[in-house]
């Protein structure tokens, strides 16, 4: 189900780490434990001396040096058991007394540490590597977004659920309506919106974020809260998709007609995948121009579709056109007439290996398509020509991707960086992006 990297991660976290602790604390010999205690004592004395020597008196610094030197000396004569045990007990007490801190000083140190850590992390994020989460399925199957997978039964036990989340970002749910409820759907801007008593379904939902890492949404149906995994916007979307798939006769297509959800009827059954989490290289394009085939993150500032700004500030797509290109889509293949050329050629593996995967038509790859609701490249004969500092970006899942076909070229100033590494979950896509071959 998951990649070999997941097995390595599980071995390290659940076997090597606790196993090492158990061996050191309970299974190793008394002599080994004494040596480890002496080494830790010498290291702690040196640490305190380096940290506090500017404020300690000479006598206190001398005490730290003495403790360290005696610990190192006992390491050379490990057989003197009673002397070592007595030295460890006495020296630990001396070190604690010497290093005792007031609550205010301890608080200041933690605050200083927090400021430094936050500063370093924000600096790295702003200048070098930015964490990014794939929000939608527009780049599938190259990268996976937040997605709900339906199941006939939800069978994993509590341990399997922990492992599936740690390795594959899966959160299971099996929720049925406790009381009867009523919803109906209308169609607005091409999207199905589920409503209750004239209000959008989202208005009946309340997002909660326990521990920040496990958000869930409480949907009040029939006056009873039903807890579903995920953020409010995603829960709204996959409830609609689930009901349309499983209850095709239930939704009413005409506005203001009611539709009953019966008590005991399944609301959702399956698991939510939280999408690929990756690092974006923010410095790559400081030294080179964006290349055709790069998976690119950009901001949507100034981009509009049907006169409205795009939802969300950061998007991720594949860069398929560079300044001077003339592009078209024919027979599910992207063709380009590069600047200075008179002929169109297929954008294939000679440009970047990823394009050959697009045309393999395996593992979910379906090539490039036209979209009737788009503004550009609507037919085989439609073309678009890019000006200076303009780039064309499309999702690999072009049948379910809002991209440059809808809102046009992306200016160079909007490009943030290149997606380089998937750090979680530990699936076959883990590691350097864009290397996994299509699934058979």
Same domain, 129 and 153: no
Same domain, 264 and 368: no
Q: Which of 223, 249, 274 is the last residue of a domain?
A: 274
Separation in Å, CA 174 to CA 226, 228, 229, 271 = 10, 9, 10, 9
At residue 250, the pLDDT reads: 60
Total count of domains within the chain: 4
Written as tens digits, the pLDDT of the chain (440 aa) is 566 777 777 777 777 778 877 877 777 788 888 888 888 888 888 888 888 888 788 888 888 888 888 888 888 876 777 888 888 888 888 877 776 655 666 677 778 888 888 888 788 777 788 889 888 889 999 999 998 888 889 989 998 898 899 888 999 999 988 887 766 555 443 344 455 444 555 557 777 876 667 888 888 877 788 888 988 878 877 887 787 777 766 654 444 444 567 788 888 899 999 999 999 999 999 899 999 999 999 999 999 998 889 888 899 999 999 999 999 999 999 999 998 898 999 999 999 999 999 999 998 899 999 988 899 999 999 999 999 999 999 999 998 899 999 999 999 999 999 999 999 999 889 999 988 888 87
Residue 24 lies in a domain: yes
Same domain, 295 and 410: yes
At residue 190, the pLDDT reads: 38
Same domain, 22 and 118: no
Residue 401 lies in a domain: yes
Residue 187 lies in a domain: yes
pTM (2 d.p.): 0.78
Residue 440 lies in a domain: no
Residue 35 lies in a domain: yes
Q: Are 406 and 189 in contact (CB under 8 A)?
A: no
At residue 432, the pLDDT reads: 92
Same domain, 232 and 319: no
Q: Which of 44, 76, 100 is the last residue of a domain?
A: 100
Same domain, 297 and 408: yes
Q: Which of 249, 274, 299 is the last residue of a domain?
A: 274
Same domain, 288 and 419: yes
CATH number at residue 301: 2.10.109.10
Same domain, 352 and 261: no
Residue 141 lies in a domain: no
Same domain, 95 and 118: no
Residue 139 lies in a domain: no
- What residues make up the domain containing 220? 146-274
Same domain, 270 and 171: yes
Same domain, 218 and 363: no
Same domain, 193 and 323: no
Residue 437 lies in a domain: no
């Amino acid at each position: 189900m998951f990649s070999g990297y997941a097995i390595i991660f599980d071995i390290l976290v659940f076997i090597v780490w606790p196993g090492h602790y158990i061996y050191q604390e309970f299974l190793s010999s008394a002599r080994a434990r004494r040596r480890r205690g002496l080494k830790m004592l010498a290291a702690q004395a040196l640490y305190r001396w380096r940290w506090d020597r500017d404020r300690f008196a000479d006598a206190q610094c001398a005490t730290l040096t003495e403790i360290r030197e005696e610990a190192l000396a006992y390491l050379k004569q490990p057989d003197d058991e009673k002397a070592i045990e007595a030295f460890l007990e006495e020296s630990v007490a001396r070190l604690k007394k010497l290093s005792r801190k007031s609550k205010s000083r301890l608080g200041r140190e933690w605050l200083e540490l927090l400021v430094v850590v936050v500063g370093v992390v924000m600096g790295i994020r702003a200048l070098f590597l930015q964490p990014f989460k794939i929000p939608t399925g527009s780049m599938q199957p190259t990268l996976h977004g937040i997605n709900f997978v339906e199941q006939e039964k939800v069978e994993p036990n509590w341990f399997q659920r922990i492992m599936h989340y740690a390795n594959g970002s899966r959160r299971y749910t099996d929720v049925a309506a406790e009381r009867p409820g009523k919803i109906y759907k209308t169609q607005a801007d091409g999207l199905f919106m589920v409503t209750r008593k004239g209000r959008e379904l989202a208005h009946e939902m309340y997002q909660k974020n326990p521990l920040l890492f496990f958000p869930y949404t409480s949907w009040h149906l029939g006056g009873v809260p039903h807890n579903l995994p995920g953020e409010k916007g995603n829960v709204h979307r996959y409830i609609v998709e689930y009901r349309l798939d499983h209850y095709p006769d239930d939704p009413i297509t005409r506005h203001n007609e009611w539709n009953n959800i019966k008590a005991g009827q399944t609301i959702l059954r399956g698991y939510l995948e939280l999408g690929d989490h990756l690092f974006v290289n923010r410095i790559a394009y400081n030294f080179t121009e964006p290349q055709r085939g790069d998976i690119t993150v950009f901001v949507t500032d100034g981009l509009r579709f049907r006169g409205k700004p795009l939802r969300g500030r950061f998007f991720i797509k594949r860069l398929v056109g560079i300044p001077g290109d003339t592009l078209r889509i024919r027979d599910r293949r992207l063709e380009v007439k590069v600047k200075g050329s008179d002929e169109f050629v297929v954008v294939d593996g000679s440009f970047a290996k990823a394009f050959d995967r697009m045309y393999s038509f395996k593992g979910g790859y379906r090539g490039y398509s036209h979209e009737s609701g788009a503004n550009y490249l609507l037919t085989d004969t439609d073309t678009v020509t890019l000006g200076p500092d303009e780039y064309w970006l499309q999702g690999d899942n072009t049948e379910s991707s809002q991209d440059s076909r809808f809102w046009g070229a992306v200016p160079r100033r909007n490009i943030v960086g290149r997606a380089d590494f998937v750090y979680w979950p530990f699936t076959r896509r883990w590691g350097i992006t864009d290397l996994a071959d299509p699934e058979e």
